[in-house]
């Protein structure tokens, strides 16, 4: 029973993704067709597809096999080793614009002041800020500009904390 349902669903999916395949009643009545005849018919239909339809069919086939992301990585990776070498060179040339502020350590006597300062620029509650400060080294703010990060570092260093901009 499951094979009949799968064939019916396949028929509708193939019509949606690959409209040029002729899906007549012979796909549902395969009991009269022998296995080699069926495979020969399928291979002839696949060979008659244009490249776009063949690509759509390959995506549909991967989805039906449970390989949802199998072909997508190869499409986005670029063309060969020359394509992959250029983005790494460009990434090195680009200047970093967003930084993370990392609290490495602080004086035990200024713990409350450090918690207050962390709360002022992170919008955390008292308990969350306290937990963050207690688990140093920890990132207290991520994705900040260099100027904003340096201002935070100055505030924390004035309290005796060791802070790094990464």
pTM for the whole structure: 0.42
CB 140 within 8 A of CB 101: yes
* Domain covering 99-165 in this structure, CATH number: 3.30.1390.10
As a whole number of angstroms, the distance between CA 37 and CA 147 comes to 71
- Angle (deg, nearest 10), helices 51-65 and 2-17: 150
pLDDT digits (tens, 9 = 90+) for 30-64: 467 888 899 899 889 888 989 888 888 888 888 88
As a whole number of angstroms, the distance between CA 15 and CA 47 comes to 17
Task: List the chain domain ranges.
Answer: 2-76, 99-165
- The sheet carrying 138-144 orders its strands as 138-144, 99-105, 162-165
pLDDT digits (tens, 9 = 90+) for 138-160: 888 888 888 888 888 888 888 88
């Amino acid at each position: 029973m499951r094979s009949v349902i799968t064939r019916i669903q396949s028929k509708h999916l193939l019509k949606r993704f690959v409209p040029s395949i002729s899906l007549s009643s012979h796909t549902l009545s395969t009991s009269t067709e022998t296995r080699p005849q069926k495979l020969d018919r399928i291979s002839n239909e696949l060979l008659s597809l244009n490249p776009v339809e063949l690509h759509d069919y390959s995506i549909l086939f991967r989805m039906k096999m449970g390989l949802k992301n199998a072909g997508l990585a190869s499409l986005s990776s670029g063309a060969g080793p020359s394509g992959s070498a250029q983005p790494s060179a460009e990434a090195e040339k680009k200047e970093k614009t967003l930084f993370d502020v990392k609290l490495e350590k602080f004086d035990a006597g200024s713990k409350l002041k450090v918690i207050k300062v962390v709360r002022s620029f992170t919008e955390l509650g008292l308990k969350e800020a306290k937990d963050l400060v207690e688990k140093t080294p920890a990132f207290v703010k991520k994705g900040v500009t260099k100027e904003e990060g340096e201002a935070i570092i100055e505030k924390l260093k004035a309290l005796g904390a060791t802070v790094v901009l990464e």
